[in-house]
Structure 1
Amino acid sequence: MLEDDQDQAALFTEWLKAAGHTCEHFKSGKAFIHNIKRDSYDALILDWMVPDMDGYEVLGWVRENFDWPIPVVFVTARDEEDDIVRALEQGADDYIVKPAKQRELAARIAAVVRRVAPVEDGQNLIDFDPFHIDLANHEVKRDGQRIDVTQKEYELIVFLFRNIGRVLSRAHILESVWGRNPDINTRTVDTHVSRIRTKLGLAPEMGWKLSSIYQHGYRLERLSAT
């Protein structure tokens, strides 16, 4: 969240936590960009009038530099129609004029996150041909053939396939798959990613790519139908 008013940020953070989210707060546009380069987020909340780089400029940077459609919601006091239209045309997914309301903010954040969430069918399957991930039985198959993976490899596969197209930081992967364990470092992520890439055959000639993003993390991409 980009918000220079500490009281407002504390209130929004409290509301979002009550809705089941975790939230990081930044007071300036440059600090915000510095951190979203390194970490992974499900959605961004922007105020417009903030120090050194305003929310509109931050939105422009995000849309120019992120190649997956991370949801962006403006929460700002600027209520002129021209400002709202400019933000939406720049790529904002929603626009809330302050004072925001708790239930509305939570509902709008949930709605924009839902738009980019992967669809899983009612049988607990993640299905991206030729891969079929059975969430009930913890099985990964390619072309109907079961692939032998460890528990952590399975959990990492599920996490990656739930975030296709997204750049995921090593820290985000580590916390999501291994939890807050001080004895585990990011080299563990690199080792497991390498094993998964080999076991699943995630190569461009097979229509998939599991890329290392310099100084950041990894991205799983579907290049074409296989």
Structure 2
Amino acid sequence: MEVKPKILIVDDEKDLCEILEFNLISEGFEPTVAHSAEQALKLSLDNFDLILLDVMMGEISGYRMAARIRKEYNLSVPIIFMTAKTEENDILTGFNVGGDDYISKPFSIKEVVARIKAVLKRGKQDTAQNRVLRFDELEVDLDSKIVTIDGEMVSLTRKEFEILGLLLKYQGQYIAREEILEHVWNDDVIVTERNVDVNIARLRKKIGEYGNNIKGKSGFGYAFKK
């Protein structure tokens, strides 16, 4: 199963946002648009894989928003700044407040897409180096296929393990039942979405208090969230 990377576009130029949104959809991304930092900060920012962030906006600039994302929200979501400000000090400011890349306006859509893919690829490489998924004292070792809570092993079936790994990998994002079926039961012929619900129920019991972090939402599926 391939989950589309979720991109948040934050820019007060509505025409530019429409162009970016259209082209990112064409490239296989799932974009969301906010026309101000204030609007963007009301969203669940931990649900996004990358943020395209304009610098010069209303009351809260892109720099201030990025600083809040890093310091107040403590999020590591990649940020690419978009701005006409191209002086060296401006670029350094962008990196100092937590930016991962910098695109100068005006830009080509091809450049934006290339930069996004490059930043996401770096993130995947970093993730590949750490094959242990963690949430507080819950750990899932993808290589040894071992789940532990407070250092104690938890016995899961293969399906339960794969569901938990999938939910932790895309922590905070709702994954539809049909997508879970495709990922976990791709070797079976006759299965239904009820299989997902049954295994989720068993998984919740086996992981104790962390079972409360598996959230179900009608029409959206399941997510592992705080």
Normalised by the length of structure 1, the TM-score is 0.65
Task: Determine the C-alpha separation between the residues in 2 that align with 1:89 and 1:4.
Answer: 23
**Among candidates 119, 128, 131, match of residue 128 of structure 2:** 119
Task: Determine the C-alpha separation between the residues in 1 that align with 2:32 and 2:157.
Answer: 37
2:14 aligns with 6
The percent of aligned pairs where both chains have the same amino acid is 23
1:71–1:92 contact (8 Å) kept in structure 2? yes
Cα deviation for residue 47 of structure 1 reads 0.4
Q: Gapped runs of 5+ residues in structure 1?
A: 135-139, 204-208, 220-226
1:199 aligns with 206
1:81 aligns with 88
Q: Give the alignment of 1:171-182 within 5 angstroms.
A: 172-173=173-174, 176-178=175-177
Runs of at least 4 residues off by over 3 Å: 126-134, 140-146, 153-156, 194-198, 200-203, 209-213
2:79–2:99 contact (8 Å) kept in structure 1? yes
1:24 aligns with 32
Normalised by the length of structure 2, the TM-score is 0.65
Instruction: Report the number of matched residues.
Output: 183
2:80–2:99 contact (8 Å) kept in structure 1? yes
For the pair 1:131 / 2:141, whether they are aligned, the reply is yes
1:63 aligns with 70
2:36–2:57 contact (8 Å) kept in structure 1? yes
2:156–2:203 contact (8 Å) kept in structure 1? no
User: Deviation digits for residues 63-84 of structure 1, max 9, x if unmatched?
Assistant: 0133341100001111121111
2:168–2:224 contact (8 Å) kept in structure 1? no
Task: Determine the C-alpha separation between the residues in 2 that align with 1:90 and 1:48.
Answer: 12
Task: Determine the C-alpha separation between the residues in 1 that align with 2:203 and 2:11.
Answer: 39
Secondary structure, aligned partner of 2:99: coil
Q: Gapped runs of 5+ residues in structure 2?
A: 1-8, 134-138, 180-192, 216-222
**Among candidates 100, 105, 108, match of residue 93 of structure 1:** 100
